[in-house]
Structure 1
Amino acid sequence: MTHFPQFAATLALAIGLASCGNAASVDTQPVSSPTVTDPAPFDGDFAIEEIGSYAEPWAVAVIPGTEIVVVTEKAGGLKGYDAASGKALFFTGAPRVDYGGQGGMGDVAFLPSEAGAPLSGRAIYLSWVEAGENNTRGAVVGRGTLSCEDHQTCAIEGLEVIWRQDKVTGRGHYSHRIAFSPDGQHIFVASGERQKMEPAQDTTNNLGSIVRLDLDGTPASDNPLAGQDGASVDIWSWGHRNILGLAFDAQGRLWDMEHGPRGGDELNLVRQGENYGWPRVSDGMHYDGTPIPNHDTSDAYARPAITWTPVIAPGSMIFYRGALFPGMQGDALIAGLSSNAIIRVEIDGERAREVARYPMGARIRGVTEGPDGALWVIEDGEGGRLLRLTPG
């Protein structure tokens, strides 16, 4: 086990050092000071246990009610680690993926409502990229059932595609993150705008949107565009760019974390039927330097809770619920790619502020929480490590 010194998560640090000397955070509206209720908040010192390395890991999840951590690998396939036994877990029956650019295997998710069920027979949800006609491709979500005949092998049986992203050319901005609603009745899927920009403002397609489905993949009957001629009835919100973080907070509210263009990464409180403005507004600019009107120049679109320029390049995100890291409860923890860090954001009502940044020395693709409150983290790229973080 390696002790990895970090920076203290205090308000004075967040203000005085501008997020530990990396990318500064820019609030898009006034925020209040955080309320510290824990007499000994987490001081930023992690003890880091290296579990193993993976081929371009993309997503990390813990099977509810177990200590089994599952990692997807971008070129295809899943691998697991059982923290209770210290043994690897192997999965068969994963789908064939269209690998290249930003595409390949994506997210993995399990129903929280099945936390007490045997491993065999549980539902498993996966997202990946599939090829279409005429050099097109798009993300899909599939649902299967686990069949685990022994303690180290599980087959994915009956895997069936239940949702498809509209297919276009290119290999970027698939997004395809998965989140279940707190009531366990719906699945939310992030659908990126595939680097095409304008489709995010066109609700006749499902690009640049967050979609809301029943657990079998059917569009929820009370979605905001239901009954509108020509509309994609799976849409919950639109005007999004490239969503790589999607999570519900303790109040049951959905938040997303989006990559901006040159600047303007943003954390959004996602509301039913809202338009988030891309590419009409952004706190960043186009890669060729062409300006984009800032969010505060228009009242026509929902505004982010916080934006970052320079960017943090987010991976996945969670809202921390455990007690292992004092004072973190309710905070968003965001995996940072170009920022090589875990970014901690405090939520105050509908407002947000970065309160700490924990340098990790590598691009961080994903973060999730274990049943004991420990953090499970995956690094990005070939040989990316799976790490277990506890207080140092």
Structure 2
Amino acid sequence: MANRMLAFLVVGLLLAACSAEPSGDDKIRALVTEPVDGAAMPAHLPSRLPRFDAGTTVAAEQPALATEQEVRVTGGNSPVMAMPDSRFSMTEKGRFRQPRAMAFLNEDLLLVAEFPRTLKLMRVADGSVHRVTGVPDEYFINSLADVVAHPNFSENETVYLCTIVRGASGRDSLGVKRARLILGQDGIYYLVGLQDVVASIAGFPSQEYGCRMAFGRDGKLYISGPFRGGTQSLTLDDGKIFRVEDDGRVPADNPFIELNDYYAKYFWSLGHRRPDAMAADATGRVWVLEHGGNAADELNLLERAGNYGYPIAAKDSPTLPQHETQPSFIAPKLWWRDRIGPASMIVHSGKMFPELQGNALISGELVSSIIHVKLSGDEVSEISRIGMLRPIKEIEEAPDGSVWAMESGAEARLWRLAPSLN
């Protein structure tokens, strides 16, 4: 009997301990559960995230966007947590299937590329979505990887498509095309006058495509090439940033134009691993966000003829020397030891958010947040993370200065971030 009473006493004490509120470090640990899709989720969030209908403004529900689990370590900085940001209110504007890229054409037209080769045009005013016909019909693998509008779209109606094409040999190649986007009398949007800007960058067997574009303040189009192993070679196209005129001509000031090689004349920089986003700031500088493989993801500032070191040097690599030991290579301005999975970036004009003027907003497919990075001269640092419901595939700034964020995935929500209503 005594043993039985002792057993009941022990069980009672254990149950009381389990029901007690955690304290100190235990209370902090209690906020985090097991990883979901590569990231831990706060225990207080519902297992099924709230669903917001198109046009719904997320203000009162903002606490549900908290992602305290994403404790991210930036190179040289303290850990940063992704949290709801009181500066922003969020409104869902639509949903898309496997989006790859988007670009504002004007105040009312948003062009969206979906996997595998679908172009859609969204009218911002009423939220209607229209199919665009005339998309190139070659046999694509990752088809439309990026879309951008010409800086003078209002005058020339020109858009650019970066495409991945499967050749007869079974190897993929990358090419950039341009076309006019017009509204026909039948109410259908058409791509007309399709032309090659950069025709078929050499075939590659992997799916490390690159194929991202950005116009610089110099009016030139910058294009990221694919990734293989020849990033240091001036006779191979991989690991390079291409720079061309808006019609595909080679600019006279490209650094390797004198080399007797088809590809080298297009190169602006080399030694990149896999650039997956680019953006120009108001001073004319072009920034590149790229994957770091088993090492750190990087934010680089492009320089003419610059060599960024891969695969000879890499920031925070367990196997390769650091840039500090290889002074001939350009080190990244910022890096992430924890991997963010680079997806997109913009440099904000400050039109709707003056405090963001000249700062970068960055997204990654491994983090459910938008990363705010300060770009001030040589000072580059992560400021904060804006908690989102899911990873963001693409960020764009609308002509009115609002920030539009497209989720990744089969049912991707498109969010408009504007100043908080509070």
Q: Same fold (TM over 0.5)?
A: yes
TM-score class normalised by the smaller sequence: 0.7 to 0.9
- The one of 152, 164, 186 aligned to 1:113: 152
Aligned counterparts of 2:152 and 2:190: Cα–Cα separation in 1: 21
Aligned counterparts of 1:97 and 1:340: Cα–Cα separation in 2: 34
Aligned counterparts of 1:180 and 1:228: Cα–Cα separation in 2: 25
1:272 and 2:300 are equivalent in the alignment = no
Off by >6 Å, runs of 4+ in structure 1:
none
Aligned counterpart, 2:53: none
- The one of 90, 93, 108 aligned to 2:134: 93
Aligned counterpart, 2:408: 380
1:22 and 2:56 are equivalent in the alignment = no
Maintained 8 Å contact 1:179/1:187: yes
Maintained 8 Å contact 1:89/1:152: no
Maintained 8 Å contact 1:60/1:71: yes
Deviations 1:307-366 (A, max 9, x none): 101011111111000332241111000112101111110012123100011121211111
Aligned counterpart, 1:246: 278
Aligned counterparts of 1:216 and 1:46: Cα–Cα separation in 2: 39
Aligned counterpart, 2:21: none
Task: Name which one, 1 or 2, has greater alpha-carbon Rg.
Answer: 2
- The one of 42, 61, 66 aligned to 2:103: 61
- Distance verdict in 2 for CA 1:214–1:384, change over 3 Å: same
> SS state of the match for residue 327, structure 1?
helix
Deviations 1:78-134 (A, max 9, x none): 11211123322331111236555xx2211111112233x3xxx51111111011232
Give structure 2 stretches of 5+ with no counterpart: 1-55, 78-83
Maintained 8 Å contact 2:313/2:322: yes
Aligned counterpart, 1:13: none
Aligned counterparts of 1:251 and 1:152: Cα–Cα separation in 2: 40
Aligned counterparts of 2:375 and 2:278: Cα–Cα separation in 1: 15
TM-fit CA distance, 1:296: 1.8
Give structure 1 stretches of 5+ with no counterpart: 8-16, 29-41
> SS state of the match for residue 296, structure 1?
helix
- The one of 198, 217, 221 aligned to 1:182: 217
- Distance verdict in 2 for CA 1:202–1:306, change over 3 Å: same
TM-fit CA distance, 1:272: 0.6
Maintained 8 Å contact 1:239/1:278: yes
> SS state of the match for residue 22, structure 1?
strand
TM-fit CA distance, 1:235: 0.2
Aligned counterparts of 2:404 and 2:360: Cα–Cα separation in 1: 15
- Distance verdict in 2 for CA 1:297–1:216, change over 3 Å: same
Maintained 8 Å contact 1:225/1:232: yes
TM-fit CA distance, 1:183: 3.6
What amino acid sits opposite 1:87 in the alignment?
A: S
Maintained 8 Å contact 1:330/1:347: yes
What amino acid sits opposite 1:159 in the alignment?
A: L
TM-fit CA distance, 1:151: 9.1
What amino acid sits opposite 2:103 in the alignment?
A: A
- The one of 353, 358, 370 aligned to 1:342: 370
Aligned counterparts of 2:137 and 2:379: Cα–Cα separation in 1: 41
Aligned counterpart, 2:225: 191
- TM-score when normalising by structure 2: 0.79
- Percent identity of equivalent pairs: 30
CA-based RMSD? 2.4
Matches within 5 A, 1:294-373: 294-373=322-401
Aligned counterpart, 1:134: 169
Matches within 5 A, 1:206-221: 206-221=237-252
- The one of 263, 284, 293 aligned to 1:261: 293
- TM-score when normalising by structure 1: 0.84
Which deviates further from its counterpart, 76-85 or 245-254? 76-85
Deviations 1:19-77 (A, max 9, x none): 9842211149xxxxxxxxxxxxx9545322212222210111100x4321111112111
